[in-house]
Amino acid sequence: MATAAPLMPKATAVWLLDNTALSFDQIADFCKLHPLEVKAIADGDAAQGIKGLDPITTGQLTREQIAAAEANPAIRLALTPPKVAVHTPERGKKGPRYTPVSRRQDRPNAILWLVRNHPELKDSAIMRLVGTTKSTIASIRDRTHWNSANLSPMDPVTLGLCSQIDLDLEVSRANKEKPQLGDTGATLLPASETTRKESEIVTPAEPEKKSDDLDVSAVFAKLKQLGGKHDKDEDDE
């Protein structure tokens, strides 16, 4: 069963080479290094400038373990169990996300991308995604950031500041928290109405003419008939 590597393996190997008579294989096995790498450290070809770290003062080894291993090259060293169990919190569960130094200069561009493409995200969600501060987000929203003129929106997933799963999770969470819109008025007609046959469509009947309305053409025709009859009677006389 593989054991954990000691704190600062190369620095520990430097100290063991300088202060003990352990073999290269024993040091390599304890420090989780290759024997050739340990030999290169001993020859001065590797780990130059690294200060040795005493594993005894750090509680990783005891003098009795080192003495027994020096007497028997077949013995393999193992880390001393810690006297106090220290609970290590799960990374990413609580607190702001850690952003590598090489990526920190890209955070304003990522924030600008999130603000433009996902306005539903709250500041707290953006802080969880890219590990920034609320004041930075506010300055980018208000365009008061000191480098606003040179910012360009860039996808934080492409920049490596967050994963696509985390982004989708925050977006879906924000959409669920959005209030539902009420009735906005007219909507599209159902398919049953738009796909009816022309024969089934009922056209509204034309409104009936009121009896009071005068038919102008009929009046003039009647007057013309009366006028023609009156002229004929005068001719007969």
Tens of pLDDT, residues 77-94: 888 876 655 554 454 445
* Stretch 14-27: mean pLDDT: 91
Inside any domain, residue 78: no
203-217 mean pLDDT: 57
In this structure, the answer to whether residues 61 and 116 fall within a common structural domain is no
Q: Smallest Cα–Cα separation from 50: which of 9, 81, 82?
A: 9
Beta carbons of 13 and 61 less than 8 angstroms apart: no
Mean pLDDT highest for which of 26-30, 159-163, 201-205?
26-30
In a domain, 190, yes or no: no
Q: How far apart are CA 92 and CA 75, in angstroms?
A: 39
Q: Would 79 be classed as within a structural domain?
A: no
pLDDT at 107 over 80: yes
Q: Which of 177, 208, 223 is the last residue of a domain?
A: 177
- Cβ pair 21, 70 in contact under 8 A: yes
Q: Which of 155, 177, 199 is the last residue of a domain?
A: 177
Regarding whether 105 and 62 lie in a shared domain, the answer is no
DSSP of 45-89 = SSSTTPPP--TTTTTS--HHHHHHHHH-TT----PPPPSS----P
- pLDDT tens digits, one per residue of 222-232: 777 766 555 55
Least confident of 3-12, 21-30, 115-124, 147-156: 3-12
What pLDDT score does 47 carry?
A: 75
> How many angstroms separate the CA atoms of 17 and 141, rounded?
57
Question: Could you tell me what percent of the chain has a pLDDT over 70?
Answer: 67
Considering its fold, how many domains does the chain have in total?
Answer: 2
**pLDDT tens-place string over residues 60-71:** 889 999 999 999
Cα(30)–Cα(119) distance, integer angstroms: 53
> Are residues 110 and 63 part of one domain?
no
Range of the domain at 123: 101-177
**Residue 50 to residue 29: CA distance in whole angstroms:** 20
Say yes or no: 159 and 118 in one domain: yes
Residue 61 lies in a domain: yes
Of 84-88, 105-109, 219-223, which gets the smallest average pLDDT? 84-88
